[in-house]
Amino acid sequence: MSTKTVYNFMLRLLTSKELAFIFRLYIGGLFVYASLYKINYAVEFAETIANYQLVPYWAVNFLAVTMPWLELICGLMLIIGFRAKAVTVIIGGMMVMFTVALVINVIQDTPISCGCFSTSDELIGWHTVLRDVIWLGMIVHIYYFDRMFHLENRFLALLRRI
């Protein structure tokens, strides 16, 4: 195969709506999964937020209660493709916030667990930052290339028939 053929194949793959759909299901499922533990164990999640030492004390409980529900709702909306662009922006914003918090604490060498999926996660490190950056790349891909199986498109088509 020539380099041009390989280049064209990679370009088609990286800009494909099918890959964006797979990423959409993965990231949506990831956010739903991450939210479930945090919703059930809000007190432990509040302790994890406090351990990062980036949020004022008065905001810790508010974030521990609201953020997991936002993750759950946005994850479900992303999976079904309802307002996917807007939800992708919200999820991307959360992921940037999480990544910045990780980077700050990794640089400060703070020995804390991520708190992403449970309070017993392994300690944060550059591998955790890399994982979040990869997920952020998937989110950017979803934003630009996702065009498959959106619930709102089917719903709007149904309304037009009426």
The Cα–Cα gap between 12 and 46 comes to 43
Q: How large is the average pLDDT for residues 125-139? A: 95
Supply the pLDDT for residue 5.
82
Supply the pLDDT for residue 159.
62
Contact of 19 with 27, CB cutoff 8 Å: no
Q: What is the pLDDT of residues 16-68, one digit of tens each?
A: 888 999 999 999 999 999 999 999 999 999 999 999 999 999 999 999 999 99
Supply the pLDDT for residue 16.
82
Residue 24 φ/ψ, nearest 5 degrees: -60, -45
Residue 20 φ/ψ, nearest 5 degrees: -65, -40
The Cα–Cα gap between 80 and 28 comes to 9
Q: What is the pLDDT of residues 81-122, one digit of tens each?
A: 989 999 999 999 999 999 999 999 999 998 998 888 876 668
Supply the pLDDT for residue 42.
92
The pTM for the full model equals 0.86
Supply the pLDDT for residue 114.
87
